[in-house]
Chains A and B, each alone.
Chain A
Amino acid sequence: MKTKVFNYLLAILTVAAFAAAIVLRQDSTFDLALLADYKGMLVQGFFNAILYSVIVLIGSLIVGFIMYIMVKSNWGYFRSLADVLTEIIYGTPLLVLIVIMAYVIGPAFGTHNRTAMGLLAMTVYMAPYMTNVYKAAISSISEAQYMAMKLFGFTSYQKYRYLIIPQVVRQLMPPMMNNFSLIIKGSALLSVINRFEIFYVIKVAQSKTFAFLEGYIVLWILYLVITLPLSQLTKYIERRYGV
């Protein structure tokens, strides 16, 4: 345990030294004070990014579940439709999907609400990944387990309440949290349709102050501030509740 902590400290120091070297090697000066005026906007952008990500997480869990039902449907049409949509989404860069959704698909349905369209694009983009999460979680319950539930005489409600859902949720959590991390990172792309999140604020600040170096570093760190604790939390959940 002690060596493990030591090794981690050493690894973190290595990366920090590398980062310091990078900053020192820049030709321009490094002055975080330049961004001081934008602190309020950055905080707001930070929380907006989290808010957008949570909305997309919930949305993609719902759409992903609908797609799961389509994949498992007895009707070939729904399975084919899910397949076609999945292939198209897998083949499309998120950036492209956001732009198309906001400037092409949205207006076709008479909406110019770019926030909604951007979030919808991200939701659609993440849905097949969520479908896979459901597939893995639900298939982790074996035939033999269903047989045991039946033999011991559990009612349908009891099966779901005590045996199926608790297991599915446990299986679901770690990959879902990984997807959440993907969503947060992907939310930076909402800046291309000028949504008010971290990357957008940084771009605005940079264009006014020319603090490019500082901006990018702050940008980077802000994402790590969200994603690193999240991945630690994921690992904790996996250890604590993993099956």
Chain B
Amino acid sequence: MRLKIVNLSKSYDINVLKDISLSIEGYKSVAIIGASGCGKSTFLRLLSGVEFPDNGSIQVNDYNVNIDYVADYQKKIGFVFQNHNLFPHLSLKRNISLILEKTRNHTFEEADEKAAKYLTQFHLEDQMHKLPKNVSGGQSQRASIARALSIDPEILLLDEPTASLDPILTYEVLEAIKQLKNIGKDTIFVTHEISFVKDFADYVIFMKDGKIVEHGKPEILDSPKDVAFREFMTKVK
């Protein structure tokens, strides 16, 4: 993927992102890590175009992520939320097929078939008629990944997909995400699971206090230069 960030800043009551710039090309899977409150989720939200920066610009592959082009861009991204964020009144299958039917011009039958196919890929064939509240958190999160993939996105964004799960369910979801490696989608993800970053990412961005402090190939995880990064790594081990 190609990612070009220029002088990006965003504030709510406080400055969350402070003048971030970054230009990388040729990586498939970018991890954003850092302590809670470092601005990584905000960064991901700006990358998705649901919110816009106060200053600066974002380019992802061939897309300028700004208000004029955002609708086209968003058709090309799949987003996996914290806490799955499935629509609670729809079955796992309908959560996917509704999107395909209403926003991607599939017929009801096509959408239904495709939804079943993706859920089966994530071993949810027995659960797909159930409501999210009637399946486990891990199953919901896997369905959410299936939902993000079903629209055949060019870029996949994952916002701490395992944040609310216990270790067993986390393992379950991370195993599911590893499948993504083989399908060759560009992926940008925020996570606290360092071992997963090592397995899955080919580029790592470490953030602190709204800034990118260090970035590079996953090897930087083993020998962090920045003090804060080193401290972070000792804590998460």
Contacts and interface: CB of A to CB of B under 8 A. Distances in A.
A152 to B, nearest CB: 5
Contact of B98 (A147, A151, A162): A162
Interface stretch (B85-93, B200-208, B223-231): B85-93
DSSP class of A's interface residues: helix, strand, loop or mixed? Answer: helix
A166 B89 contact: yes
A116 B193 CA distance: 65
Given A147-B50, A148-B79, A243-B133, A154 B102 contact: yes
Contacts of B77: 151
B147 to A, nearest CB: 8
B93 to A, nearest CB: 14
A153 B79 CA distance: 12
A162 B85 contact: no
Interface residues of B, number: 22
A145 B85 contact: yes
B89 A144 contact: no
Contact of A153 (B74, B83, B85): B74
A148 B85 CA distance: 8
A153 B75 contact: yes
Which of B88, B89, B99 counts the most chain A CB atoms within 10 A?
Answer: B89
Interface in B86-133: 87-89, 98-99, 102-103, 131, 133
B132 to A, nearest CB: 9
Contacts of B158: none
B87 A145 contact: yes
A234 interface: no
Contacts of B131: 243
A153 B77 CA distance: 11
B151 interface: yes
Interface residues of A, number: 18
B87 A153 contact: no
A148 B74 CA distance: 11
B191 interface: no
A151 B48 contact: yes
B48 to A, nearest CB: 6
B89 A151 contact: no
A138 interface: no
Nearest to B144: A148
Given A158-B102, A162-B98, A150 B85 contact: no
Contacts, number: 48
Contact of A151 (B74, B87, B102): B74
B103 A153 contact: yes
Contacts of A144: 81-83, 85
B163 interface: no
Contacts of A142: 85
B24 interface: no
A136 to B, nearest CB: 15
Contacts of B103: 152-154, 158
A195 B16 CA distance: 63
A162 B102 contact: yes
A177 B91 CA distance: 25
B88 A151 contact: no
B81 A148 contact: yes
Which of A142, A162, A241 counts the most chain B CB atoms within 10 A?
Answer: A162
Nearest to B159: A144
Given A144-B81, A144-B83, A162-B98, A152 B151 contact: yes
Nearest to B88: A243
Which of A147, A148, A241 counts the most chain B CB atoms within 10 A?
Answer: A148
Given A150-B74, A151-B79, A166-B89, 10 more contacts: A144-B85, A151-B48, A152-B103, A152-B151, A153-B71, A153-B74, A154-B102, A162-B98, A162-B102, A241-B89
17 contacts: A144-B82, A144-B83, A147-B45, A147-B50, A148-B79, A148-B81, A151-B48, A151-B50, A151-B74, A152-B99, A152-B151, A153-B103, A154-B102, A154-B103, A163-B87, A167-B89, A241-B89
